[in-house]
């Protein structure tokens, strides 16, 4: 991977967060939702190309029993350069050093992202359990 990228262990600002989600093909989040949710991040990582934030990932949860990996996003122009893996390496480091061993750590894998997450020990939960969501 190019040395043109740096890692910042910090929650993105609202505008950056909203932009990255939509540009990477994730669902949009309102200003209100982002303003309420982002400060509650347990861990966040950003990937910068120069001064531009081109990737991110977060961990949310109750900081004891349950953790969820969310918002893994890389701008399309920067995909295929190992940045998603770099984001997951930082998240994995956080999990290894800061999360209780008995905690349940989950994520929802879209499409082929499951191949990336499998590299970090994530496995399918089905048929024992399946992911569910409430659409509103």
Each domain of the chain, given as residue ranges in start order, spans: 5-118
In the prediction, which pLDDT does 136 show?
87
In the prediction, which pLDDT does 3 show?
74
In the prediction, which pLDDT does 13 show?
98
The string of DSSP codes covering 107-122 is E---TTHHHHHHTTT-
The fold of 5-118 is Aminopeptidase (3.40.630)
> Tens place of pLDDT for every residue, the chain, 136 residues?
457 999 999 999 999 999 999 999 999 999 999 999 999 999 999 999 999 999 999 999 999 999 999 999 999 999 999 999 999 999 999 999 999 999 999 999 988 899 999 999 999 999 899 988 898 8
Contact 121, 106 (CB under 8 A): no
CA distance 120 to 89: 8
In the prediction, which pLDDT does 70 show?
98
- Residue 65 DSSP class: S
User: Does residue 68 sit in helix, strand or coil?
Assistant: strand
Token pair of 119 as six digits: 């590299």
Q: Is the pTM of this model over 0.85?
A: yes
In the prediction, which pLDDT does 31 show?
98
């Amino acid at each position: 991977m190019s040395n043109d990228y740096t890692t910042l262990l910090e929650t993105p600002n609202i505008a950056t967060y909203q932009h990255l989600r939509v540009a990477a093909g994730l669902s949009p989040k309102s200003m209100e939702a982002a303003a309420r949710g982002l400060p509650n991040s347990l861990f966040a990582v950003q990937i910068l190309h120069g001064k531009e934030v081109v990737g991110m990932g977060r961990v949310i949860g109750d900081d004891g029993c349950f953790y969820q990996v969310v918002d893994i996003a890389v701008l399309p122009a920067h995909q295929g350069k190992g940045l998603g893996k770099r984001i997951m390496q930082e998240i994995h480091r956080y999990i290894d050093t800061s999360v209780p061993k008995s905690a349940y750590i989950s994520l929802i894998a879209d499409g082929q992202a499951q191949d990336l997450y499998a590299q970090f020990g994530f496995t399918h939960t089905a048929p024992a359990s399946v992911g569910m969501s409430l659409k509103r």
